Amino acid sequence: MENPYQPSESSADSVSEVTGILSGSREDLRRVAQYQKGIISCILLQFLFYILIFVLGAALGPYGGLGSLIALLGLLVAGIAGAVFVFMLAIKVYGIGLGIAFAIGSFFPCLGLILLLVINGKATSILQQNGIKVGFLGANPAAI
């Protein structure tokens, strides 16, 4: 006799849509973990470059010399990478329309950092709902 309360075998390979992933696949859950690691790296880099620009500006005057230029360039690269990761993660979670809106919004200096934090929080909650441990630097995609 078969147990009617036992979950089907196909549910072990997929994630239900209740968890927040549109496709509901385990592979997309792994991608969420990968994109979250990229977003966390961009958040840390942006904080580092903002601090570097502030320190160089205070030490060397309003323009800060070549160091400030390099820090601004690094901030630009981290911002572009953050926008890409935000877009890729947002289309997995919210859909293409909001993914585009999040990516465009992430190019604005302070709003972009806030959007990175918001989408990182959403990724953390999705991963935790699926029983995946999320640490300071995100979840381990290989553990999924």
Q: Is 8 helix (H, G, I), strand (E, B) or coil?
A: coil
pLDDT tens-digit map of 10-54: 444 444 443 667 777 778 888 888 999 998 998 899 889 989 888
pLDDT tens-digit map of 84-124: 999 999 998 888 999 999 989 988 877 887 888 888 888 88
**The pTM is what?**
0.75
Closest to 24 in 3D by CA, of 129, 138, 135, 134? 129
